[in-house]
Chain A
Amino acid sequence: MSDTGITGLTEQLPPGTEKSLADIKLLKHVDAAAVSRLEEICTWLFCAKDGFVFDSDDDSGDVFFIVSGSVRASDNVDSETEVAFVDLGAGDIIGELSAIDNGPRSATIYALEDCIVAMVPKDVFLSYAHDYPDVMVGLMVHFVTIIRILNTRVVGLSSTTVVQRVYEKLLELADEDPVMPKRLVIEKMPKHKDIAIWTGTTPETVARAVGRLLEAEIAMRRFKTLHILDPGRLKALVDAS
């Protein structure tokens, strides 16, 4: 690691931590002996909630497997606006982009909850992938998935307004209302700041967009719950062009 001082990583593991890579998706088709070989090489680390696994200045190229917990990959476009790329959880891999192309970190990674991660230095990871074609193919499939998600976001961002993206996110978060069949409901409405991070805007814009829905009686707020009274009208707003 370039500078352990600035990350939230520590080798002090909670008691009883299981040092296993059995659930890492990338290693799903790799035989057990090969997985245990990697387990022996890894350094096992703990990162508390809100701590950084690495930030965009890190130049180590180390690769991390998330054994438990979850993290967010995001980019600070400026001090006000954070743009989230993806949330990752147990079984996922991080840091693999820089390991492969030696480029700078494309994102800052911070813990959304307490995490256990297993770290391998770049060169070790690459020679491991070289030895096991299944790992290479697994990496390709993994990257392809990321590309598809990003493609969809580029198209979405290019063709919708900020307010439309907020409404689209609300529809994505909503479930069917168990009591009122034609309505949708978001039981625990996320903070405006969190919705802003996903839709590439500011919390104020989210507040305004939600406020308009309440005024137009498309939605109703009760404490932490947002009731979507008229999902059809909300969908029409998302699709308007």
Chain B
Amino acid sequence: MRVVGHAKSGQEVAFVDLGEGIHFGELSAFDNAPRSATLYTLEDTLLAIAPGDAFIEFSRKYPTVAFRLLEHVVGTIRTLNSRVVGLSNTTEIQRVYNEILQLAEPDPSNPSHWVVRHMPNHRELAVWAGTVPETVAKAIGRLLETEVAKREYKTLHIFDRQRLLKMINE
């Protein structure tokens, strides 16, 4: 499942992707306020639903459960804090490059190169980098022009990872 928020303009901003074994919806169970995000499935999904009140009663009865919940929300807060700092301190283009770097791995056939095997589409990258697909296109275009990277079908070859790192930290 993907958890997203929406800006006034309608732009979608991804908070997190969730997988097996994870719970969600606990925010509204505890503060009775409206849902803070929209969730949609990324693949076929089987869910178990507990009413909010019953869930809170359960966690009161079992402090271990309550404690795990607390650890979970603290983790969420830490992730969001780093994103606030990251977003405050970088340009949209730098964030696109950062997302690309996260996806890259060393190229076994050429030790000085890095490679992103399945480049996500522009829309997908935009949702994570906090920007629009057009900016993603522009950012990648710049990498190709300056020969920092080369595109081959779904694969992006990064020739100069150090330069890309420098572009992120400028």
Q: Give residues in A with beta carbon < 8 Å to B.
A: 75, 77-78, 81, 83, 85, 97, 100-101, 103, 106-107, 130, 133, 136-137, 139-141, 143-148, 150-160, 199-201, 239, 241
Contacts and interface: CB of A to CB of B under 8 A. Distances in A.
Interface in B30-74: 30-31, 33, 36-37, 56, 59-61, 63, 66-67, 69-71, 73-74
A139 B69 CA distance: 10
Contacts of B67: 100, 130, 136
Max chain A Cβ within 10 angstroms of own Cβ: one of B36, B37, B77: B77
A151 B5 contact: yes
B73 A133 contact: no
Given A81-B88, A83-B88, A144-B27, A158 B130 contact: yes
Contact of B87 (A139, A157, A241): A157
B71 A140 contact: no
Contacts of B66: 133, 136-137, 140
Contact of B30 (A106, A144, A158): A144
B interface secondary structure, majority = helix
B74 A101 contact: yes
Contact of A97 (B6, B33, B36, B78): B78
Given A103-B74, A141-B31, A159-B7, 6 more contacts: A83-B89, A137-B30, A140-B73, A143-B74, A151-B5, A199-B88
Nearest to B69: A140
Smallest CB-CB A-B distances: 10 pairs? A200-B88, A158-B130, A159-B7, A150-B80, A241-B9, A157-B87, A143-B73, A133-B60, A136-B66, A155-B5
Contacts of A156: 7
A147 B84 contact: no
B120 interface: no
Contact of A77 (B26, B80, B88): B88
B11 interface: yes
Interface of B: 5-9, 11, 13, 15, 26-27, 30-31, 33, 36-37, 56, 59-61, 63, 66-67, 69-71, 73-78, 80-81, 83-85, 87-89, 130-131
Nearest to A201: B88
Contacts of A159: 7-9, 11, 13, 130
A136 B58 CA distance: 12
B85 A154 contact: no
A157 B84 CA distance: 7
A136 B68 CA distance: 11
A101 B75 contact: yes
A77 B85 contact: yes
Contacts of A137: 30, 56, 59-60, 66
A146 B76 CA distance: 10
A148 B33 contact: yes
Max chain B Cβ within 10 angstroms of own Cβ: one of A78, A100, A147: A147
Max chain B Cβ within 10 angstroms of own Cβ: one of A78, A81, A158: A158
Contacts of B15: 151, 154
Contacts of B69: 140
A97 B8 CA distance: 31
Contact of A143 (B11, B70, B85, B89): B70
A30 B13 CA distance: 38
Contacts of B73: 140, 143-144, 147
Contact of B81 (A141, A143, A150, A158): A150
Given A140-B66, A144-B31, A144-B73, A85 B81 contact: yes
A83 B84 contact: yes
